[in-house]
């Protein structure tokens, strides 16, 4: 089992109270129950209670935020009750919430279907009936949308409550407050909605509670299917595959559910829920795969929702909920503006599969006008030999450059320069580079660097070669080579704001450009290598390394090291 995972907490024992305090402190529409810090109320709960609108409460263990405290608001919950992380609140806390919000129109308490929650919330309802009489309008609604366990023998408590709770509470809140529906109508519609929806989840990594390690072991290369939201393992463990295949697996199981009995003609509302630890980059991809799968398989998506809504602390996974829309009223209720609806992204997805446009304009990154001086074939062969050797040297030193970059950058300098080098070598092999026209060649190298390498490295070398090309308008010799280095350096310094002494590739390039015309190339190469090594003692003032601590900058800058490598390789290839 892994060690304790770092989290932003003050004290793990007080994390729930601290989180609720933060919720109330940052939202002037809600408040604590006057005597209970684990119960969150709307500030206007007294008006709702004394009016003719049904009030709604919901709760359960913490760790699922924004559920349930974050759902208190207009056309949503009137009250929320929070237990410890992954633990049901005691019945006394549920009673505090119910007594605070229960009025003439009645109150409904929603609970995600776990044994502890059923017992504690059930006791609160019974206590209310004993206090107000059997005819009092208070009832419990169980949310049991999980379909992962429906084929498991011996399970008698029903499905677990998962992210489908958000759809139920949105519809119930809109009915109760916006439509002023009766107690019986809100209750019956809620139960009907629940019986027509299902949820299935998947995770790549388990969650970790504050102050503790991961809740179960999940080996690298495997994924957990059909897991709940309390850190428990799923119903099946299988090999991790691509996101497209993961989504297909989840949706095949979900749409085959006996509970849903889906037909292609059914109108559906789909909710994609982030379990807390999936990056927005990944989550956008998952949303697209989910929407595309339904379109490709002939289903009609009437509504599409996505967000981080019912979490499992920081679980690296997602769930998909399908609601079969029995009538247009349900769809309309999902559209009612509410506090819950403000938390998700609501759309009507494309009715056809969208494909990314092809970047046809980048198909040939070597297509440039032939301009500038033309050199003899022998000189062109020497240029080609030097360029090839420089590229091969950068490819050979990929790991070294990545290692140098890992302490003060993002660890990909070697990868980036390898990509550029491979693109250049491929173009050379295909006879697409204008070696007899140095100016055109530099313009080609500029385009290749820009389009084969993302980020800073590609831009820097694109600038360097593009600006350096100006030196080869009329001549190609030792002096124009030095001039090209100077022109390229000036462009990098101007646009990149890097100067000598800033611990970047500018340092060795500056050493080369400052060398006197009488300096031999072997001496110039030594100056470049010396300047590269001296970056180890400099404090970074430009580039991504400037954002890191000086103590992390103990080795030569990877960009400077790369310049020294290709300078020497190119020179030795000509000897």
Looking at the annotation, which residues are catalytic? 230
304: region left, alpha or beta (phi > 0 left; psi from -120 to 50 alpha): beta
Three-class DSSP category at 8: coil
CB proximity list for 526: less than 8 A, separation 6 or greater: none
Question: Taking Cα atoms as reference points, which of 498, 398, 501 lies closest to residue 456?
Answer: 498
**How far is Cα 73 from Cα 55, in angstroms, rounded to an integer?**
11
Q: Are 400 and 393 in contact (CB under 8 A)?
A: no
Find tokens 């102050």 and name the residue: 211
Instruction: Print burial letters for 504-528: b (CB count within 10 Å at least 16), e (below 16).
Output: bbbbbbbbbbbbeeeeebeebbbbb
What is the strand order of the sheet 197-205 is part of? 236-239, 222-225, 197-205, 316-324, 267-274, 300-307, 345-347
Q: What is the dihedral of CA 84, 145, 175, 130, to 10 degrees?
A: -60
Q: What is the DSSP letter of 356?
A: P
Determine phi and psi for 311, rounding to 5 degrees: -100, 170
Residue positions counted in the chain: 575
How far apart are the C-alpha atoms of 479 and 485, rounded to whole Å? 10
Helix, strand, coil % over all residues of the chain, rounded to 5: 45, 15, 35
Is the link from the previous residue into 68 a cis peptide, with omega within 30 of 0? yes
Measured distance CA(198)–CA(258) in Å, rounded: 10
Element (DSSP H or E) covering residue 380: helix 377-396
Tell me the sheet residues that pair with 324: 268
Tokens 């909710």 sit on residue: 271
Ramachandran angles phi, psi of 351, nearest 5°? -90, -5
Q: Which of these, 65, 41, 61, 146, lies nearest to 111 by C-alpha position?
A: 61
Distances (CA, A) of 127 to 52, 124, 131: 23, 5, 6
The answer to whether the CB of 311 falls within 8 A of the CB of 229 is: yes
Tokens encoding 135: 């005819």
């Amino acid at each position: 089992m892994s060690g304790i995972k770092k989290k932003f907490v003050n004290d793990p024992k007080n994390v729930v109270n601290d989180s609720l305090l933060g919720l109330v402190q940052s939202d002037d529409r809600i408040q604590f129950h006057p005597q209970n810090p684990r119960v969150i109320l709307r500030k206007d709960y007294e008006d709702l209670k004394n009016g003719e609108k049904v009030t709604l409460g919901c709760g359960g263990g913490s760790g699922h935020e924004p559920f349930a405290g974050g759902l208190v608001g207009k056309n949503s919950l009137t009250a929320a009750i929070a237990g410890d992380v992954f633990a049901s609140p005691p019945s006394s806390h549920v009673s505090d919430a119910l007594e605070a919000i229960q009025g003439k129109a009645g109150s409904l308490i929603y609970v995600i279907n776990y044994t502890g929650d059923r017992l504690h919330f059930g006791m609160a309802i019974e206590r209310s009936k004993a206090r107000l009489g059997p005819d009092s309008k208070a009832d419990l609604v169980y949310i049991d949308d999980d379909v992962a366990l429906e084929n498991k023998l011996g399970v008698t408590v029903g499905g677990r409550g998962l992210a489908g709770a958000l759809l139920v509470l949105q519809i119930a809140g809109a009915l109760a407050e916006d439509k002023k529906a009766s107690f019986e109508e809100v209750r019956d519609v809620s139960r009907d909605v629940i019986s027509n929806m299902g949820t299935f989840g998947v995770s790549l990594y388990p969650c970790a509670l504050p102050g503790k390690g991961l809740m179960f072991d999940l080996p690298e290369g495997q994924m957990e299917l059909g897991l709940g939201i309390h850190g428990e393992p799923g119903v099946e463990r299988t090999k991790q595959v691509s996101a497209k295949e993961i989504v297909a697996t989840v949706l095949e199981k979900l749409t085959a559910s006996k509970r849903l009995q889906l037909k292609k003609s059914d109108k559906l509302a789909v909710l994609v829920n982030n379990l807390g630890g999936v990056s927005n980059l990944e989550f956008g991809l998952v949303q697209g795969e989910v929407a595309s799968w339904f379109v490709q398989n002939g289903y009609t998506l009437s509504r599409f929702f996505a967000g981080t809504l019912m979490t499992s602390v920081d679980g690296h996974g997602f769930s998909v909920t399908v609601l079969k829309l029995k009538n247009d009223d349900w769809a309309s209720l999902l559209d009612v503006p509410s506090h819950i609806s403000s938390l998700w992204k609501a759309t009507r997805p494309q009715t056809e599969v969208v494909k990314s446009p092809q970047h046809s304009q980048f198909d040939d990154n070597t297509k440039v006008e032939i301009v500038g001086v033309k050199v003899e074939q022998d000189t062109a062969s020497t240029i080609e030999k030097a360029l090839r050797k420089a590229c091969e040297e950068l490819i050979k030193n990929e790991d070294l450059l990545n290692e140098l970059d890992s302490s003060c950058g993002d660890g990909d300098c070697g990868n980036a320069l390898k990509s550029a080098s491979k693109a250049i070598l491929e173009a050379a092999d295909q006879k697409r580079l204008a070696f007899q026209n140095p100016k055109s060649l530099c313009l080609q190298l500029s385009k290749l660097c820009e389009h084969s390498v993302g980020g800073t490295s590609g831009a820097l070398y694109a600038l360097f070669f593009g600006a350096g090309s100006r030196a080869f308008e009329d001549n190609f010799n030792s002096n124009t080579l030095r001039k090209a280095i100077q022109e390229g350096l000036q462009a990098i310094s101007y646009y990149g704001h890097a100067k000598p002494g800033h611990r970047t590739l500018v340092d060795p390039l500056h050493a080369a450009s400052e060398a006197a015309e009488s300096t031999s190339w072997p001496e110039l190469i030594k100056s470049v290598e010396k300047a590269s090594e001296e970056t180890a003692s400099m404090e970074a003032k430009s580039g991504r390394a400037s954002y890191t601590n000086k103590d992390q900058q103990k080795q030569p800058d990877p960009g400077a090291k790369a310049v020294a490598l290709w300078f020497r390789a190119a020179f030795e290839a000509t000897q």
